[in-house]
Structure 1
């Protein structure tokens, strides 16, 4: 009889039969290799070494089935058969846990592994032929209660767990075993008894630490460990087959993602909002600054202009000092240097060169080439030093975009709790992600990493090249609750209905663009707009028809900061993702803040702002017929900001 994999039976309340021997009852994975059978006489003990010789007599080659190989497989076979006897006492009745079955199992494993090249999941991972992130089912074979994680800094660092909260367990695929470090939350599950020896786990997205190259599972160091995270580790059915899983597993419900639970192999989300591309620059002082695409473009232009000025200055200095630098001394080029000095002082150097021998010309050309290379090298060093001295070294800029999502909720299992929202930051997004991700579309997403969470929002990170976004078909999306509210243009007359701190979009005509000014922590600019949706019949309504938008930059030293050009006054502009702030009751002004995620458009045809096109047309039409009103509004703005000049 060949039992092809380790089996953990479902929990049972049945009392174990009193006829089970104390030895079988005490067999664990940690001591199974030491178990010995009694021969027919009852006098001789039959252990792993005896089975090694029995396997050799049946054709097993020591080259492949070494003593270590036999001891390893003997251990897992004995533990497995003992589990049969313990959990199925009436059916097993001593028929499973026998010497003949152990030998047959060893022969079967030799046939599979040696003759047919079968390799278990752990063997393939340790030999470098399979990724530990693939989905697999493994069994907890032991808890390493005496392991010292305080010295295992690599494991702790990669799991992100504190020393006191992380635990090591031994996992087996039924053929081999290796250690695994549990993150803090899985360790709590283990301490609470929700994870236990003999339990099978479906593992997806695991890491591997301490591994430096292909190694046999029989020779692997105990410093090599799988890294398990709660977001990718699930309890599975007791009858699931050990080893790698075929196909793709079920996605983790978005609401079940733990903020410090490691990478999320797969989840389902609906996209509510896609924010514009941003650029984060890491500064030399260790800080950083985030810029919009428009501001980054200005920064690149200014940066290149400054570098060009520095380069031109260095090149001019080298050209002026070119004669003084002709002092290259090299024994192989002495003749070339002499020829150069003679030619520099000669009245007719062309005549002298015409009379030179080929050897002299070659020596002169070699010297000139070396001299030019030295000058070029010196100039490059001088330019690099000048860049560093003026703060114009290489910039560390990373593009990213944010996507606001919500977990999908099945209509059948919809409860009272509102679905969990998330904000995903995609670093170095691909062109496909920038142009094909769409608001209102549902996706299955692989490779997200949660970084933080609050009561309302889960914050996650993604890498453009490694995170996969697969759109769900409309047929699949129909099974989930509606999650998307399409963008719409808000009128100033209806701004009171927008909750504080909420996002809104508006199409408005620019009345006045304020000057950029600095406060203690940032540079700021106010822009005042209107849309003509409020009646002019009363004087107070004139102020109520103004919206003041604040643009800020945390880079206090960036004198080029001017997100809105003054020449936009009088233009109709579409603003997206503004944040409503408290109204200025003294001046009867609506107030909004333009954050990093805010953006404005002059051309309202592209997809991100096409919903503002009709409102912009009406506003533009109103502005053409309301020049006097716009003048009054501008005067009102100037009065508010204390500038009474026309």
Structure 2
């Protein structure tokens, strides 16, 4: 009753009972009641599926938070509510509750806290989730290109591109302004090309306005002679009129400049750049820890509050929107809204060890031995070679940057679209020592001899001066080891060419295998039966099997840690 009469907000936590269900062709329609009055409800896709499956039936009670009143904006009694007045509820803020729950508003008005693993991509607004920030990624800058598409840049790359863009814009503006200035000067000279006159001293004394004096000087055969006969009052009138003419000419030139500049090509317009920060979340409840599920939270235009988020800290996050993840990636994409709030909480160390692994710089041996945490890798190495591949059918480019770690082992980093397309501030050259953070491990298994990782434009960062102290220490260790850099690079290139040649030769053998002695022996002993000969030919047509990949069993570091007794009170 209070909701229909606009006396209270529908976003508070409340318990309502399903009073009616009408199966429609498009979507089922339900009515909810607080025990006194009924109101129609508008449900989303996942709730419709639950109703169709019979999981929600008449008489079931639902705990709802974050609901919205749609339709008519006028306050009205519940018995006189129009057909368009409906209560919009979302799956992510709706849960079934026990039969004996009290109907109506609850004493706890806070949003309903749901497990992260139960969040639906099409389930609408999320009231609250209890999570731990396991990874915080640096702020990236997304630029929407005029021709369509977008490009992500790091802070350093954005600052560098911003300076270059401003410099180019300044040069274009100066060039255009000079063209307009020369055109105005040309028009002004044409106006001055009039018949010259002779003025006597009497004629000069009769000049009483700045405009008359200005025209007399421009039309005189000897303008300097006229200025010598002008009085002090006439000189002031002339200077004032000249200032007015210059101001009028300047305004006209500026308006013409703005018109030409705005009507010019798309490159003259301002850039559309939006800062974006992403964090990776893992749920704290038992259901989330068992599923080992993580989700990315996107924060557009982050503030100081978002910049203060810390890895390994537990938060209750309120008011998030959910959307389906990218095709093939699975999971759910979370996005912060204007109403999103972060509340830090304390978490027991034993639970934290189960779901959170701190950052560490890995080597090739670490990557091959076990699956990296959250399938992301931080490495420090020296660039050995940059291999570019152009795909003619699609017109796209792919770069693979090969590095060696501190153990002289080779690792490849794949840049889809090329290194330049990924918006890096500094070009990758041979001999550069850098730190690559948040590289993605997208393959089902990594090659033992030469693992290849993917560079993500939205998450990965490549820097010669990383922000974390552990990464800077690894760079210093690598610099101390590499005393003879040129000789080290020559040896590393030789090892890399050997591995690449071995890989290409193995691929060619798999594509066109040669017959070995056993196959020749089989062919010699094959009977003349055509049926048997065709079967033998079919068997011999198969290529050699690909090498068996190692079985990588993921194991958490918390298994090997010492047991910590649980605290008496859990906050």
TM-score norm. by structure 2 comes to 0.69
- Deviation at residue 553 of structure 1 after TM alignment: 3.5
Q: In structure 2, how many angstroms separate the alpha carbons of the residues matched to 1:263 and 1:633? A: 53
**SS of match in other structure, 1:299:** helix
Stretches of structure 1 lacking an aligned partner (at least 5 in a row) = 1-118, 147-163, 329-334, 535-544
1:529 and 2:403 aligned: yes
Q: What residue number does 1:611 align with? A: 470
Structure 2 residue aligned with 1:506, among 371, 376, 379? Answer: 379
Show the counterpart of 2:251.
Answer: 373
Instruction: Confirm whether residue 547 of structure 1 aligns to residue 411 of structure 2.
Output: yes
Alignment of 1:416-565 (within 5 A): 417-434=290-307, 436-453=308-325, 457-463=330-336, 465-475=338-348, 482-499=354-371, 502-512=375-385, 520-534=394-408, 545-553=409-417, 564-565=426-427
Change (3 A) 1:572 1:384: same
Distance 2:497 2:63 in 1: 66
Describe how 1:385-424 pairs up with structure 2 within 5 A: 385-386=263-264, 389=265, 391-410=267-286, 417-424=290-297
Mapped contact 1:271–1:405 kept (Cα < 8 A) = yes
* Alignment partners' CA distance in 2, 1:448 and 1:311: 44
For 1:391 and 1:267, the matched residues in 2 are separated by 43
Give the 3 Å change call, closer, same or farther, for CA 376–638 of structure 1 in structure 2. Answer: farther
Q: CA deviation at 1:498?
A: 4.3
Query: Could you tell me whether the CA contact under 8 Å between 2:439 and 2:453 is conserved in 1?
Result: yes
Quickly say closer, same or farther: Cα 1:316–1:184, change in 2 above 3 A: same
Cα distance, 1:517–1:640 mapped onto 2, change above 3 Å: farther
Q: Which residue of 2 aligns with 1:26?
A: none
Q: CA deviation at 1:570?
A: 3.6
Give the Cα separation in 2 of the matches to 1:554 and 1:134. 50
Q: CA shift at 1:214, angstroms?
A: 4.9
1:272 corresponds in structure 2 to: 134
Which of 616, 623, 638 lines up with 2:482 in the alignment?
623
For residues 148 and 332 of structure 2, what CA distance do their matches in structure 1 show? Answer: 23
Structure 2 Cα separation of the partners of residues 206 and 462 of structure 1: 19
Q: Which residue of 1 aligns with 2:520?
A: none
Cα 1:487–1:196 change in 2 (3 A) is: same
* Cα pair distance change 1:370/1:134, threshold 3 Å: farther
The whole-number CA distance in structure 1 between the counterparts of 2:447 and 2:51 is: 55
| Partner residue in 2 for 1:593 | 454
Judged with a 3 Å threshold, the aligned counterparts in structure 2 of structure 1 residues 492 and 190 are, in CA distance, closer, same or farther, namely closer
Distance 1:390 1:353, change over 3 A: farther
Please tell me whether the aligned partners of residues 153 and 423 of structure 2 are also in contact (alpha carbons under 8 angstroms): no
Q: Is the 8 A contact 2:439 2:456 kept in 1?
A: yes
Determine if contact 2:138/2:277 at 8 Å carries over to the other structure: yes
Deviations 1:313-336 (A, max 9, x none): 1111121122456799xxxxxx99
Distance 1:363 1:181, change over 3 A: farther
Q: Secondary structure at the match of 2:382?
A: strand
In 2, distance between residues paired with 1:362 and 1:244?
A: 77
Match of 2:150 in 1: 288
Deviations 1:459-480 (A, max 9, x none): 22323643222222135x7567
Distance 1:456 1:316, change over 3 A: closer
Q: Which has the higher contact order (CA 8 A, sep 6+)?
A: 2
Equivalences for residues 276-355 of structure 1 within 5 A? 276-323=138-185, 347=223, 355=233
Instruction: Tell me if the contact between 2:151 and 2:423 (Cα under 8 Å) persists in the aligned partners.
Output: no
Residue 574 of structure 1 aligns with which residue?
A: 435
Measured in 1, the distance between the counterparts of 2:311 and 2:118 equals 23
Q: What are the Cα deviations for residues 485-517 of structure 1, in whole angstroms up to 9, with x where unaligned?
A: 222222234443144994322222333456797
- Could you say which residue in structure 2 is the equivalent of 1:124? 6
Contact 1:279 1:292 in 2 (8 A): yes
What do residues 86-144 of structure 1 show as CA deviations (whole Å, max 9, x unaligned)? xxxxxxxxxxxxxxxxxxxxxxxxxxxxxxxxx8233226xxxx554333344445556
CA distance in 2, matches of 1:342, 1:210: 75
* 1:278 CA drift (Å): 2.1
Relative to structure 1, the CA distance from residue 190 to residue 358 in structure 2 (aligned partners, 3 Å threshold; closer, same or farther) is farther
Residue ranges of structure 2 left out of the alignment (5+ in a row): 192-208, 502-571
Partners of 2:63 and 2:345 in 1: how far apart? 24
Relative to structure 1, the CA distance from residue 197 to residue 513 in structure 2 (aligned partners, 3 Å threshold; closer, same or farther) is closer
| Residue 187, structure 1, aligned to residue 51, structure 2 | no
Matches of 2:238 and 2:82, distance apart in 1: 66
Structure 1 CA distance for aligned equivalents of residues 155 and 249 of structure 2: 44
| In 1: Cα distance, 2:324 partner to 2:167 partner | 40
Contact 2:411 2:452 in 1 (8 A): yes
Q: What is the total number of aligned residue pairs between the two structures? A: 471
Alignment partner of 1:232 out of 79, 83, 93: 93
User: 1:521, CA displacement in angstroms?
Assistant: 4.3
